[in-house]
Amino acid sequence: MDLQTGKKFWIVTTSIIIAFTIFIVGRNTVHAVKIKRQINALQREKEFFRAKIEADSTLLERLRYDEYLEEYAREHFRMQRPDEHVYIIDED
């Protein structure tokens, strides 16, 4: 009987250790997948903002020239000279 009790003890102990290990590994795997998704989302966001910065830098460089500045103001802010009439036609 003593041999059977010792054998059962080690089987139960080993089963508990294996179950605990599987639980920890599974939890870490789920956490790693979540972190990987966050990293991918942040990288996409980084690329979006990098492209936006590049576009804004290009616009800023072009706005340094008076001809483009006037064109930009007329198109985006609907500005006009005091002696002219502007008719706005929406193409929606």
Give the whole-angstrom CA distance, residue 56 versus residue 53. Answer: 5
3-state DSSP assignment of residue 82: coil
pLDDT tens-digit series, residues 63-80: 998 888 888 888 888 778
Q: pTM for this structure?
A: 0.59
pLDDT tens-digit series, residues 2-41: 678 889 999 999 999 999 999 999 999 999 999 999 999 9
Number of Cβ within a 10 Å radius of residue 33: 10
